Structure 1
Amino acid sequence: MLSSSYQGDVEALQEAVHAARICRDKLSQVRIRSGNIRSATTGTDPESETLRTLHKLEDTMTALFVQLDELRNRVLSPMTRLHDELLQEIFVYCVDVRVPHPNAWLQWDTFDPVILTHVCHQWRTVALNTPVLWSKITLQAVSRSHQTLFDPWHDTILSQDDPTFPQSRRRYNEFIRRAKTCGLRVKLNFIDETPEYERRLTNEFCRLAQCNEIISLRLFTAKKSDDNISTCLEFILPRLQKLEIYQVAPPLTDLDPPDQSITCDKLLSKEWPRLRQLEFRGISLPTRVPLVHAPLPNLRTLKIILTRGVSDNISKLFKFIGLCNTSLERLDVCCGWDWQIEPDTEMALYLPRIEQLELSLGSNPLISILQRIRAPSLKSLGVRPTRGAEESSAAPAVVSALEVFIGSSRCRLETACILGISVIAWKKLAELSPDIRSMTVHLSTAYFSANEEVINLTDDPLQFSKLEEIHDQSELTEQSLRMLLSFVQSRRRLFAGGAMVRPIRCISLRSAQARRAPETQQGWSAIQKELADLIEELIIGPVKWNKATGVWTQWEGSTDEEGPLAVLDHSW
């Protein structure tokens, strides 16, 4: 019984195993997807429920990873199209930018808005619908090839005999049409013109002023053009915001009628309600102050460049500045000789809002002005005494007046340009304004006489603890280069050691290497290379070292007229 029963169980087991093998072979021949496997878990037991939950979480995680990849690509991948509003802001920023001329290193071209219309359809549409781009207009009566070369699109030639007149007239009209209601910025040139062309210029300007709002005027004039100038200014008095007048005529003589030359008295005979910036050169200061009204209630910037032969003095200057002393934020006064100093020393001038003051004068007027003005909000000060035979002996008096000015004003200077006063002013500024961040000085001995002490930066690296920028306007020498390198290294060591000083970030130098021997140039290049490795920005003349690309690039902010010279001949 037992044996027959056992035998039957074995046979049943063998049949089951055989059937399982056949099923396995058949299943191995079928391609089953993961979705089929997941759908197969249809049971209600806890194990199946757990599997289904895991599968849902896995699907959710996969979808989140896909969205994360899309977001990462949107953020990190380059954009193929800028918004029209952003593109317009970039275009407006470029309006006053000068671009390097392709065939002349030291020449800068006016930005050409027409180029923007040749890039793509979007750029063309945005540029043509941005009136500010087309708001610059130049009016002159004759063709000047050297001026047209650097101002190709903002030049109007009113000479009908010129073969380019039709093309220039069409361009001129198109610019005005594109400017729409945007205020125009006009350059008007009366210099070296015949009476007939002056009349045409005046008529064209008056026609333009009647149809469009002119907010800025740069006026180049001669003494014989003053009647036409008065006519032009009558049309733009209420709306003008910026006025620059450059008079190149010689000073008045006894043979000239007194009303032939434009003066500040003529300008101030009218009220300028919206004028915010005034700059003039070669125009005498007013002899009287208007009593009826304040002609300059909103003036923010005043630049005065006085030429030799005009009888001006401190009293006239102070009376003129007094017309706008409560609103003035920037004042520049430039004069290359000493004025007559009046015995009246009680006159003082309070400038509550002025933030930038630039004085380039002889020692006597410079001392007198510094002793009489007070500017509590001043942040930037530029003092450039004109060099003369007795300037060395006047340096202590200038520094004393500077001390009186800073101490009485109680201002916190951030930028200072002190030229021609050597080490005396450096030490005094370190006491009165230790928070200066940018300094322009002369560091080379070539500028000073033999008995003058020169600034030595390495004497006390802790002076001017917040100093980050040094601009050397003197002749470049190996001694000044090595002093700068040593000073930069000392500041970096002090900063790394925890001292309360900032490392030097930017250094600008004049370029004068072409006049040196090749071996001298190589030595200078090695020092400049060390400087460039230690600071963020190195500027030599009109070029700036780009650490990222390892090449020299043109720098628009330079006033150095010597050019890059041999600094570009060596590669780092």
Structure 2
Amino acid sequence: MGRNPNQAQLTAGKSSQAHTQFSSYPPEVLSEIFIQCLPTYSAAPAAARAPMLLTTICKDWREIALSTPHLWSTFILSVDLVKTKDGCSLIRLFDTWLARGGTCPLTMVINGVSSGLRAEHSLPASFISALSRSSSRWHDVNLMLPLADFYRLQANEGLPQLRRLSIKATANTAPLEESESPFPPLNLFSHAPLLEDVSLEYGFILSNVTLPLHQLTYFDSRASTTVIAHYLEVFRKALGLIEIRLDVHNVERWGLSVPVQSNVKSINLRSSLMGENTSLNVLDSLTCPELETLVISGLIPMLSEPLLRFLPRSSPPAAQPFH
């Protein structure tokens, strides 16, 4: 159904009027207005969306948008591991986006996807190079890449601004239960003085990635692992944790104690094994006197002895509901 010509003229007229009104504002005010035009959440670069849209309105707006680095510091980028080649338009866009962001801290999602049936592909060398050069600006980063590509990344200037990190291996991933991994521990994130929020997804447990656990306040492990050492290391070294989220699957009784988690206020335990209360044996090694929230999903814990033992010693003293 065609658009009403009169309506189109009216819309164009309003747009022109708004543009004329805004153009009278000082550049620094327009710059702040442009920042408010950004999507609420990180979004993929698109011609019909800020900030790219702002560069198409007029010459003045383009100059202001290009001289506002904050506009170019947040984005989502999906990279087809099969089709993306060195020198392609996507890599040129990535280079341009990074350059326009200047020195602003980066909030970004990089998702390596495969359009082929096989997943044994890697990111182009030029993309890895550009991503590595920007590492000193990483602030809130979600990387979903082939496991081998994580080892190609470099942080020559360190990770001085990294506060939040989420990593997931999308290919080249050995089973987490294997005693011998084809890859050594990943040390890329070991020197990040501000890192406090970490999510480990498929392909990563603490035996194959080195993290500054002592400074973390949030830890989320979505790895489908039954390796007890993975959880023990978290609770023994990450004593500053405030919130913990763990996937637990048939974790046997540890028989080992860990330090009292005096800062923990929230625990979220997840399992895909409905009714497998053995997964809650992790609670037998925990004492969280400041706990405020306990969420258990995928389980039927009502008759779980580990849960009944955990609650009295982990509720705030003034609110102990169990005796």
Q: What corresponds to 1:278 in structure 2? A: 198
SS at 1:274 equivalent: coil
1:331 equivalent to 2:247? Answer no
Letter in 2 for 1:382: V
Q: Following TM superposition, by how much is the alpha carbon of 1:198 offset from its aligned partner in structure 2, in angstroms?
A: 2.4
In the alignment, structure 1 residue 300 sits paired with structure 2 residue 217? yes
Q: Which residue of 1 aligns with 2:252?
A: 340
**1:244 equivalent among 143, 166, 170:** 166
**Which residue is 2:133 aligned to?**
210
Aligned to 2:269: 359
Other-structure match for 2:295: 382
Rg larger in 1 or in 2?
A: 1
Contact 2:252 2:281 (8 Å CA) reproduced? no
Structure 1 residues 367 and 186: alpha-carbon distance in aligned structure 2, compared to 1, 3 A threshold:
same
**Helix, strand or coil: the match of 1:332?**
strand
What SS does the aligned partner of 2:192 have? Answer: coil
Distance 1:97 1:141 in 2: 19
Flag the 1:318–1:182 CA change in 2: closer, same or farther, 3 A: same
For these two proteins, the number of residue pairs brought into alignment is 283
- Matching residue's letter, 2:141: L
Q: CA deviation at 1:305?
A: 0.7
TM-score, length-normalised on structure 1?
A: 0.41
Deviations 1:19-75 (A, max 9, x none): xxxxxxxxxxxxxxxxxxxxxxxxxxxxxxxxxxxxxxxxxxxxxxxxxxxxxxxxx
* CA offsets 1:347-395 (integer angstroms, 9 cap, x no match): 134334444332224523325326613152x4444222x24xxx47x53
Aligned to 2:36: 90
Structure with bigger RCO (C-alpha 8 Å, 6+ apart): 2
- For the residues of structure 1 that align with 2:91 and 2:119, how far apart are their CA atoms? 21
Percent of matched pairs sharing the same residue: 14
Residue 329 of structure 1 and its aligned partner are, at CA, apart by 2.9
Aligned 8 A contact 1:285 1:316 in 2 = yes
Other-structure match for 2:235: 321
1:231 lines up with 2:152 in the alignment = yes
Specify which structure has the higher proportion of helix: 1
Paired residues for 1:1-12 under 5 Å: none
CA distance in 2, matches of 1:268, 1:174: 25
**Correspondent of 2:79 among 132, 137, 140:** 140
**Matched AA of 1:400:** L
Partners of 2:120 and 2:227 in 1: how far apart? 34
**AA aligned opposite 2:181:** D
TM (normalized to structure 2)?
0.66
1:507-544 Cα distance to aligned partner (Å, 9 max, x none): xxxxxxxxxxxxxxxxxxxxxxxxxxxxxxxxxxxxxx
One-letter amino acid matched to 1:372: L
Pair 1:317–1:169, CA change in 2 (3 A): closer
1:411 to 1:287, Cα distance in 2 relative to 1, 3 A: farther
- Secondary structure in 2 matching 1:318: helix
Q: Using a 3 Å threshold, how does the CA distance of structure 1 residues 95 and 269 change in structure 2: closer, same or farther?
A: closer
* Deviation at residue 325 of structure 1 after TM alignment: 1.7
> Are the equivalent residues in 1 in contact too, given 2:34–2:65 (CA < 8 A)?
yes
Q: Distance in 2 between matches of 1:375 and 1:127?
A: 50
Unaligned runs of 5+ in 1: 1-79, 100-109, 145-156, 413-427, 433-572
CA distance 1:260–1:269, change in 2 (3 Å): farther
Find the aligned partners of 2:104 and 2:198 in 1 and give their Cα distance: 21
Q: Secondary structure of 1:232's partner?
A: coil
Q: Alpha-carbon deviation of 1:317?
A: 0.7
